[in-house]
Structure 1
Amino acid sequence: MSSKSKSLILVRRLLVWTLYFFSGFILYSYKGFLPSFLITFSRIIYPLSIFWLQIRLKKRTNFLHIDSKMTTSQLWFNLLPVIASLLTVIFSLINTFFYFLAKIISS
């Protein structure tokens, strides 16, 4: 892998993490623009999703490890963090989008 592609990957990851941290800042600092149960869910799961993603990135394992030998409980143990994290990412980004939309409309 060349130095140029490594730096490109680093810049992409930096942009994604910056956007995600900024959306978390908006999620915790301002009034939510989504229904309250989605905001509450996102506020609870947001720190867990960062922790879960860091573990997955550090270990360099698959995000969704599913094997035919898994029991139902093992499968759910692997699926629930992925589903919760994806929903949190979606809700926090939508909330950020609505925040910026409200700022644009009000000014």
Structure 2
Amino acid sequence: MTQLLIIEDNFICQQIYRSLLSDDYQLTLAETAQQALETLTNQFFNCILLDLGLPDQRGEEILPLIRANPLHKDTTIIVISAHVDESLGQQCLALGANHIYIKPILPTMLRQVVENAMVH
């Protein structure tokens, strides 16, 4: 089954992601940047959903750390955050994100975004 890491501290968003994606993907949840980086140390994921507004570190700060790990140099990273303007979006893409989406994201769009990312 496709492995998906969700890096998200908002409980409601976690529940939405879980309800929409758990039937088709093996989900792992990290609520902080530290939890995410520890999880990524020795576990492979096909796709990562990354929120930028994490409690311990900004999501854009961990993008290069994720890409530096040989396990995840080619992993699809989808930034889904309410805290993105054009400049920050460009910065995230330059740091290794594959896609940027601004919350709120419609449930049908979320499924489609993840499915499309897995195909490409």
Q: Report the TM-score when normalising by structure 1.
A: 0.31
Give the number of the structure with larger relative contact order, counting CA–CA contacts within 8 Å between residues 6 or more apart. Answer: 1
**Greater CA radius of gyration, 1 or 2?**
1
Alignment TM-score, normalising by the size of structure 2: 0.28
Query: Hey, which of these two has a bigger chunk of helix by percent?
Result: 1
* Structure with greater strand percent: 2
